Structure 1
């Protein structure tokens, strides 16, 4: 009894000392404004009560009239930011301090124990995998090497939509969300596994059951990864899985890996037995990487985990941006006409737009960039974790804080953007000689992140986004369904369109262009 009482007193004194030390540190520089939380739990009860959490956080910031806020969840200080000036302070000026990632349930599950580049906390494993991505998987040489595969999938996109036009049952009615998401899925499956489909696919070129389940699994992972699970902020509660996030995430990962892992294991065996001798895709490259002693650089577990990460990083951003861009363009016919006129002037109607045309398609890229600004895929970027105490914007940011840059907060910030809720691609064209880029390194908007943790796949993502939009606009005349207006309502639970974009497509190129694809 005496020993237990002594330990209790020690714990109490430790808490008091920590509070005094923290108070001393923060006296000159306070924490960013935010709600008061409960002992131990912080604002977890409010988080659970106010779903979706990202809308609750943005409402708090609006009510507090602040562009930086601190919400304590469990023992974690979550710092939300809507100011581009502060965003640059975090990700550029003090990038070295905020270059780590959280140690949490959803990140650990998705990366199979932090084996990957994007989700691993800073350390040797992150450096190793980041180097692999930058120099081997997403390099300029690899981008050129995989060019033909991307072209084949861009052609397949046109063929698939053309089949919807010729099908009497479809009569040109196209679900743009399905077309966009599965174009992205097809591209990355071709680049990684050298196959469009895991199964047979549909006769019209659409996804089969396997591809639908695969892509649905990828989007489910994305929705629960860093999705404000209780277990991400209170690890001692993970075993109870109060909000079900762990269960949903594990099921989604299983639905993805049950298609990918057999391909990986089979390919490793083929190389081991000498049945495969020529590298054809990213998987071959990963398998054949060697360390300084000519041993395999990556384990099968590392390859499996990194491919999951490559998949989730590829399907989301381009498909969401282009669905929104097409919806906005259909709602503003004059902007749609201008984008298609640019394509006619640069490419014409006797051939399909290609990657070599991208640099000349400034207005088309501006349409995509404006969709990234106004309609980002996720409310926040992947969290950055502070590796030591620091000061940002006059506020104290404790070691271990999770920094979340708000994508809609930056992209719709009225201090930065005139009429921020209007779709206006012209705002991104500075002058006739400057090329529009989809990434914004000044962080006035967040399409692809920057700094040490910046997206290594900017080139691939930008290429896929531009070609997807350009092919849709050049290849077909798009109109609203008869008697239906385009619904630009944003989903309450996420930032997708509340309803998938369904529109009518008709051919607008010379007939021989389509006939060539059907040969």
Structure 2
């Protein structure tokens, strides 16, 4: 160990020891906290266990508990892997646990908590959530933007069609790149009314600036979901411990450089030049909303924060889910065949699947649900923070505690799921076979987490469902997917920083529809 590393370790050890002693001296809680490891060492283990979520889940399994309390500095972090307790968190005690925890990453991404995802519960948050629900995600707006989503669904099948014909039939296609191309393009169309920032990529893929933008969104999200020591020791913020603060600053700067010129130009158009005939996208809506006095409802910083919310909310779940689902299907050809058979029966091969068909695609939705259960994008949902003293499962939860519902703990809990580690879409069809009951991506019983629920639940469940199932259905209907030559299985390994596939999925695609059904790329 070199001298500088030794000094850093010594600094952290001294800091952690001092904070642990302070924690022991803190006032006695008003009731019994959930079980947890000894107070001394929690923060030390957090610092030196890079995969913090693995360490937390292993400890909970060793303690044989579905609710645990970890003491990180002066903050109680409560982790939950039980569906019953998860329902208590997100439904029964929803209002008491509706706050958000502050961190360097969330503050920077949200421009000082001026939006919906990261802001604490209060009147400002309620105002923004109402706009998100009743304006941007309203049935009227989603119907209005249907054409944008359909256009990009057309573009993506033609993009893959062109890729599959550009070389030999065994040329590998980067499935993740295809998925991200669709997700980013749909988000851009609905938010800004355009597919590209500057230069157009005529092949149907993303340009360099779009790729840089998307990469920055993912890096910012990784920083937000990390268990950084500064999340629990605020006075260390700004010191760039571990380099993460520089990482999130760079990512947010890139997102701003991409988004801000469009926002400035559009605000100038609406507020100084008289606007245009109709409001065409989400940005138009945010800029033109008025308060009770007829003044603009949102400032520039609030609008750019809301746009960043949309950036981070519309990409990761769909990308992660569709990639894992196709990977699992390639490893289970019988499941892939069933999904194709459903598409051929419901839609046929004479037209492309549309959003209006999604209601009838129960098996494909069951496959998507199973991937959400087994392969969430991140180990925990965003942390909830106790606004007041409360209880969970009979344990005392002090005001200011962080509560983390585990996506992994719920989705792979053997008390909830038979053969919990096996990909079995049929489990989501129980009680629906031969009936008219529709499979949905909602999970009100919290047996696993897709969009969450309650006050902090996702406002975009309908658009999230539409994007995910539409993309999956288009890729399955349009192409015969096979493993690369020499491969008999896809290696199902998740990444370290998040739970995406560790390596992008590569597969071969052969078109299975008439060539005239693959439209020309429309930029």
- Structure 1 counterpart of 2:285: 285
- Whether 2:228 is the aligned partner of 1:229: answer yes
* Alpha-carbon offset, residue 258 of structure 1: 0.6
- Structure 2 counterpart of 1:8: none
CA gap 1:193/1:507 in 2 versus in 1, 3 angstroms: same
Alpha-carbon separation, structure 2, partners of 1:19 and 1:492: 35
* Alpha-carbon offset, residue 517 of structure 1: 6.2
Q: Secondary structure at 1:239's aligned position in 2?
A: coil
* Conserved 8 A contact 1:221-1:252: yes
> Which residue, out of 501, 508, 513, partners 1:509?
513
Alpha-carbon separation, structure 2, partners of 1:100 and 1:420: 32
* Alpha-carbon offset, residue 170 of structure 1: 8.3
- Whether 2:324 is the aligned partner of 1:320: answer no
* Alpha-carbon offset, residue 277 of structure 1: 3.4
* Conserved 8 A contact 1:164-1:171: no
> Which residue, out of 443, 447, 450, partners 2:446?
443
Q: Secondary structure at 1:243's aligned position in 2?
A: helix
Segments of 5+ residues of structure 1 without an aligned counterpart are 1-14
- Structure 1 counterpart of 2:390: 390
- Whether 2:155 is the aligned partner of 1:152: answer no
Q: TM-score, normalised by structure 1?
A: 0.93
Alpha-carbon separation, structure 1, partners of 2:511 and 2:168: 17
- Whether 2:100 is the aligned partner of 1:101: answer yes
Correspondence 1:401-412 to 2 at 5 A: 401-412=401-412
- Structure 2 counterpart of 1:183: 182
> Which residue, out of 499, 506, 509, partners 1:495?
499
Alpha-carbon separation, structure 1, partners of 2:25 and 2:124: 32
- Structure 1 counterpart of 2:303: 303
Segments of 5+ residues of structure 2 without an aligned counterpart are 1-21
Output one character per residue of 1:409-468: Cα deviation in whole Å (capped at 9) or x when no partner.
101110111101111111001313211111201100001110011100100101100001
Q: Secondary structure at 2:518's aligned position in 1?
A: helix
CA gap 1:18/1:131 in 2 versus in 1, 3 angstroms: farther
Output one character per residue of 1:93-137: Cα deviation in whole Å (capped at 9) or x when no partner.
111101111122222111110100111001111111101101111
CA gap 1:16/1:197 in 2 versus in 1, 3 angstroms: closer
* Conserved 8 A contact 1:389-1:399: yes
- Structure 2 counterpart of 1:376: 376
Output one character per residue of 1:256-314: Cα deviation in whole Å (capped at 9) or x when no partner.
11111110001111122125332111101110001111110011110001100111011
Output one character per residue of 1:202-237: Cα deviation in whole Å (capped at 9) or x when no partner.
332111111110110111111111411111110011
Alpha-carbon separation, structure 2, partners of 1:354 and 1:172: 28
* Alpha-carbon offset, residue 74 of structure 1: 1.7
* Conserved 8 A contact 1:107-1:226: no
CA gap 1:518/1:394 in 2 versus in 1, 3 angstroms: closer
* Alpha-carbon offset, residue 172 of structure 1: 4.8
- Whether 2:253 is the aligned partner of 1:254: answer yes
Alpha-carbon separation, structure 2, partners of 1:470 and 1:83: 32
* Conserved 8 A contact 2:155-2:520: no
Alpha-carbon separation, structure 2, partners of 1:136 and 1:186: 21
Q: Secondary structure at 1:422's aligned position in 2?
A: coil
Output one character per residue of 1:455-486: Cα deviation in whole Å (capped at 9) or x when no partner.
00100101100001000100100000101231
CA gap 1:511/1:355 in 2 versus in 1, 3 angstroms: same
- Whether 2:267 is the aligned partner of 1:268: answer yes
* Conserved 8 A contact 1:201-1:209: no
- Structure 2 counterpart of 1:11: none
Q: Secondary structure at 2:173's aligned position in 1?
A: strand
The alignment of Structure 1 onto Structure 2 pairs a total of residues equal to 497
Correspondence 1:32-431 to 2 at 5 A: 32-38=34-40, 43-168=42-167, 172-271=171-270, 272-274=272-274, 276-430=276-430, 431=432
Alpha-carbon separation, structure 1, partners of 2:486 and 2:201: 30
Alpha-carbon separation, structure 2, partners of 1:343 and 1:212: 32
Q: Root-mean-square deviation (CA), in Å?
A: 1.8
RCO (CA 8 Å, sep 6+): is it higher in 1 or 2? 2
Q: Secondary structure at 2:100's aligned position in 1?
A: coil
Q: TM-score, normalised by structure 2?
A: 0.92
* Alpha-carbon offset, residue 17 of structure 1: 12
* Alpha-carbon offset, residue 169 of structure 1: 7.0
> Which deviates more, 71-80 or 354-363?
71-80
Q: Secondary structure at 1:154's aligned position in 2?
A: helix
